[in-house]
Amino acid sequence: MEESLRQQILTAFPQKTVDIRTYSPMALAFLGDAVYSLLIRTIVVSRGNRQAEKLHRETSSLVRASAQAAIGDAIWDMLTPEEQTIYKRGKNSNPSHHTRNASLQDYLKATALECLIGYLYLQDKNDRILELLAFGIKAMEDSRKTNKTKS
């Protein structure tokens, strides 16, 4: 079986083993934000080569807190009890700040999604991350299309 990117990173840069259950929700979200961003950028670039400005605009529409909150809402019923616990830890975290472009509720849901992604990434559950995001992104994009049609 091929090593995951995370395993390759830890082989190249050895660290002491830490029980991931001891990581704070904000530490998990910090990592999850980077993983989520990489996945979204990969998805956007794979949709076709375009000017960097267009790539950035599409990426921004998927990484903003409101989009992450919508994805979190869409996947909630798919989550295992363990995943729901991690998501709730992220949602109940006490961030020192939140973006001006999002409501606190959306920001906390986005943090929850990032926390869950960070947790799953540390467990090498990349297939699960992709399953959840594929469902959540499709649900969010379908909802956006439906809302545009109603307007």
Residues annotated as part of the active site? 33
Find out whether 99 and 110 touch, Cβ atoms under 8 Å.
no
Contact 66, 106 (CB under 8 A): yes
Distance CA 30, CA 119 (A): 10
Which tokens go with 100? 């001006």
Decide if 110 contacts 72 (C-beta within 8 A): yes
